[in-house]
Amino acid sequence: MPGEDLINTSVDEYLISLANSINHAQRYISSLYVAGRTGEPSIAYQLPRVDFELKLLFQLSTTHPPSTARQRNVARSEGGAWLEARPLGAEGTVPDSDLAQAASTIKGSFVAVPVHGGTPPPVITTSWQSESENSFEIRVGVRTSLGDAMRGQEVQFNIDKDIARALNPVLSTEQDLRNILKQTSLDPGVATTNSEGDVSALLVVGDLGLQVPVVIDVMGTTRTLVFTAGTVPAPGNR
């Protein structure tokens, strides 16, 4: 039937799924050690490179998309036409007067690289100081495994809305969440470490008793701290 060969996933989901599959395969391969000679280390294997190629046929149709097509993959334009994607070479792709088609090929490679350039991961420390009953100074330190300060590293501070809604039952709707968070500030959102490898941000909670989860992201390492106005904040992880 027409439309049954439409792809049922987006390109980004395809790439993420492929990356997850490669990761799963590598984990399994890494568990298969080959014993070396006496006195020599065992041998492990690694996927050095995985190439992929995705060929798609995009077509612009003036007809309504079939009900079997997922809405997020059939985007409607202002002109009332529909952009559909299907694997190149699929049946039923013969153009007619209502279709305009174009082929596209997406190529790429997944290459194995050492984490952090092969160096040990950085050591991230977090601390805080209560400035008042509803404001907190959050401090982050970034050091090497040897304790040397890492200058110029980007640190991101964000309020996690999903965790905030889970921690605060009173925020039952998205509008409730927006209204409450309008009174809460976190500044700066992004900062770089100084010569001592340190950086700080100021959190001001607008509603006493509100639990505010702050997510700190440094070089791919994430920490979550939960602050409650009027109480001592407790560290948390997610």
What are 11's two structure tokens?
């390109």
Q: What is the pTM of this model?
A: 0.52
Q: What is the pLDDT, as a whole number, of residue 70?
A: 45
Maximum pairwise Cα distance, the chain: 73
Q: What tens digit of pLDDT does each residue of 121-164 get?
A: 789 999 998 878 888 999 999 998 888 999 999 999 998 888 88
Q: Which of 135, 149, 159, 168 is nearest to 217 (CA)?
A: 159
Percent of the chain with pLDDT over 70: 70
* C-alpha span between 25 and 46 (Å, rounded): 10
Within 8 A by CB and 6+ apart from 165, the residues are: 171, 177
Angle at 125 between CA 166 and CA 223, to 5 degrees: 20
Name the helix (H) or strand (E) containing 20.
helix 11-30
- On the question of pLDDT at 52 being above 60, the answer is yes
Query: Across the chain, what does the average pLDDT equal?
Result: 76
* C-alpha span between 67 and 3 (Å, rounded): 9
Q: By three-state DSSP, how is residue 154 classified?
A: strand
Angle at 112 between CA 197 and CA 222, to 5 degrees: 35
Task: Return the CATH fold of 117-236.
Answer: Immunoglobulin-like (2.60.40)
Q: What is the pLDDT, as a whole number, of residue 87?
A: 67
Token pair 């905030």 in the structure block, residue = 164
In the chain, what are the domain boundaries?
11-111, 117-236
Q: What is the pLDDT, as a whole number, of residue 125?
A: 92
Cβ proximity of 116 and 28 under 8 Å: no
For residue 188, cis peptide bond before it (omega within 30 degrees of 0): yes
